[in-house]
Structure 1
């Protein structure tokens, strides 16, 4: 068990590293001696901090002058945040109409490691007791959003998810690796994923991928509701509406090619 001393030193180092990033954002370029003086630490401590930041591409060194500036890693982090904000904004121009059309809850999710992260939700007129999904992480193998994302993820990630185990969450959760692989291939062929009694008994959902400007899958869009209102016989019709909405969001995200199906 930690005695707390190491934890305190770690927190202090994180605080100093973040301060370095703020200083570089403000001043553009700074040398190690300037950073050490501002932080009130020894030069060797400042050097270790910037070296760690440099190893993560958060800062880079001007080889001619030996001064440091913000690196491309900061741009990547900012770009990821911006892309997610863009996704929510652009999808909101489409999802309320879909929720009204199908009468059910519409969710938007992104891939987050080996899970699906829900980033937006719009309730349809039939939703009475709404479960708030935004901010929640859901297993990829047991949800329509998860399967839509996993079907278009790199094969290595699909196998990683399978190797980690496919736990039973409801009556019809897919737990057989071969069956899941076959279903993901079918998702890629037909353009949408389904989940009926797989995350929760009595819950049905259908999802389609959302594409970014380069044609890669950046998110999934789903409609879900109780199985008595969305029986399996109705899923194909709902899927057409979901795919059309996903294609519209894709266009708003900069993709003008065919739908991914």
Structure 2
């Protein structure tokens, strides 16, 4: 194994968990290398636009990671499209695929609106919000282990297999989401629907959870 590459990848992982950025010295401590080594790693990653310095000279992730992730996300969108189409039509609600964006945010990767519905929720792919808010983020957090001080909604989602929140991302809109399980039993994505009103929350939750499992099997 290449020690230099290993340290570079560790550095990127640390930065993904620290959206506010870190100094070179803090990075050196985080990956257990000398400050000079951390400085060289940062300079190399900067040259490839994988990290950058913000206005406070702290090191944060760079835009080059978006280009690297795009082919993977394109595959994910391709696999998710028919599942979201079916989910939107069967529930008559706007269906969405969200992905974890760093340590603290969720980003809408795909949004599918139901055909012919008189009223539905509308929002654009690319929108982001805190992972602690909205059913998509709650579902992803619920797929992980219990955390001290976690929201009751996370514990409830862990028990039910799907998360429900109201008015946290869009006012007066209820989100119902389930985590997309990965092969390693983690989850960095969720499938869900957004509705103004509903009659059978349990049935909607079951339908959403089944859609998330279907995408998980395709990704396995």
Question: TM-score interval w.r.t. the shorter chain?
Answer: 0.5 to 0.7
User: Cα deviations across residues 211-237 of structure 1 (Å, max 9, x unaligned)?
Assistant: 23333213000011112xx25xx1111
Alpha-carbon spacing, 1:204–1:77, altered in 2? closer, same or farther (3 Å): closer
Q: Does residue 81 of structure 2 align to residue 92 of structure 1?
A: yes
**How many residues align structurally?**
167
- Name the CA distance, whole Å, in 1 between partners of 2:206 and 2:118: 21
Q: Does residue 112 of structure 2 align to residue 115 of structure 1?
A: no
Alpha-carbon spacing, 1:102–1:77, altered in 2? closer, same or farther (3 Å): closer
Q: 1:130 deviation in Å?
A: 4.8
- Name the CA distance, whole Å, in 2 between partners of 1:131 and 1:221: 16
Q: Mark the structure with the bigger radius of gyration.
A: 1
Q: 1:195 deviation in Å?
A: 0.9
User: Cα deviations across residues 21-78 of structure 1 (Å, max 9, x unaligned)?
Assistant: xxxxxxxxxxxxxxxxxxxxxxxxxxxxx875436695xxxxxxxxxxxxxxxx9876
Which residue matches 1:200?
A: 170
The answer (yes or no) to whether the contact 1:205–1:222 under 8 Å persists in 2 is yes
User: How high is the TM-score relative to the length of structure 1?
Assistant: 0.55
Q: 1:154 deviation in Å?
A: 7.2
Q: Does residue 160 of structure 2 align to residue 185 of structure 1?
A: no
- Name the CA distance, whole Å, in 1 between partners of 2:169 and 2:93: 17
User: How high is the TM-score relative to the length of structure 2?
Assistant: 0.64
Q: CA RMSD in A?
A: 3.2
Query: Segments of 4+ in structure 1 off by > 4 A?
Result: 50-53, 55-58, 75-79
Please give the secondary structure, in 2, of the residue aligned with 1:131: coil
Please give the secondary structure, in 2, of the residue aligned with 1:211: coil
Which residue matches 1:144?
A: 135
- Name the CA distance, whole Å, in 1 between partners of 2:47 and 2:66: 11
Of 236, 240, 251 in structure 1, the residue corresponding to residue 202 of structure 2 is 236
Alpha-carbon spacing, 1:76–1:129, altered in 2? closer, same or farther (3 Å): closer
The answer (yes or no) to whether the contact 1:103–1:127 under 8 Å persists in 2 is no
Which residue matches 2:17?
A: none
Where does the alignment leave 5 or more consecutive residues of structure 1 unmatched?
A: 1-49, 59-74, 160-177, 255-261
Where does the alignment leave 5 or more consecutive residues of structure 2 unmatched?
A: 1-39, 49-63
Please give the secondary structure, in 1, of the residue aligned with 2:100: strand
Alpha-carbon spacing, 1:200–1:80, altered in 2? closer, same or farther (3 Å): closer
Q: 1:89 deviation in Å?
A: 1.1
- Name the CA distance, whole Å, in 2 between partners of 1:221 and 1:181: 20
Q: Does residue 193 of structure 2 align to residue 223 of structure 1?
A: yes
- Name the CA distance, whole Å, in 2 between partners of 1:85 and 1:79: 11
Of 178, 182, 191 in structure 2, the residue corresponding to residue 212 of structure 1 is 182
- Name the CA distance, whole Å, in 2 between partners of 1:140 and 1:149: 8
Q: 1:210 deviation in Å?
A: 0.6
